[in-house]
Amino acid sequence: MERVILNSVEIYRALTRIAHEILEKNKGSKEIVLVGIRTGGVYLAQRLVKKIQEIEGESVPIGELDITLYRDDLAHRKESPVLKKTHIPFDLNDRKIILVDDVLYTGRTIRAAMDGLMDLGRPRQIQLAVLIDRGHRELPIRADYVGKNLPTATDEKVEVLLEETGEEDRVVLKKGTDKESTS
């Protein structure tokens, strides 16, 4: 069973709104950098950077963060997950970082991402932007920018499908437990 939560137009609108909110809160794009969490967050960060460029006419630095090495569940997994590369081609010190992910759930991924960022430098501030906040937090973490708040049950699964991975843009809600979706 699968239900579409956001379609392609709705995703576009949500991202446009988030881009405006980021600019509003940070008084423009001067001090900010965007860091997408691999894999879904990277594509959303790229779209936000493009949107900000359209609005402000200025480009914003963008980085990619793989949080695997900072996960708190590695010891309990039979197989170590495949590592992807972290690529942050700028200095993080004293910057305002907008961390971007697709779904906010337990908060553990964001905890890992913040630890990862701290090892790379000392940012002035970290803000969080997510497309979907599905609740069920296990850590005291909240998002600064949310595309859509979506009440869910723990046995449901939220999937953000994007053109960049060869899918039609959409967010779907699926029934059934899947331990992989602990974003």
Tokens of 148: 């859509």
The length of the chain in residues reads: 183
Counting contacts by CB under 8 A, is residue 74 touching other proteins?
Answer: yes
**One of 8, 10, 121, 182 touching other proteins (CB under 8 A):** 121
Bridge partner list, 62:
34
Taking the complex as a whole, the smallest distance from the CB of residue 118 to other proteins amounts, in Å, to: 9
95-to-11, 31, 120 alpha-carbon distances in Å:
28, 6, 12
Using CB under 8 A as the binding criterion, the count of chain residues that bind other proteins stands at 24
Counting contacts by CB under 8 A, is residue 175 touching other proteins?
Answer: no
Non-local (6+) Cβ contacts of 159 within 8 A are: 171, 172, 174, 181
Binding region for other proteins (CB under 8 A) out of 29-37, 79-87, 96-104, 128-136:
79-87
**One of 9, 24, 27, 82 touching other proteins (CB under 8 A):** 82
Binding site for other proteins (CB under 8 A): 66, 68-71, 74-87, 115-116, 119-121
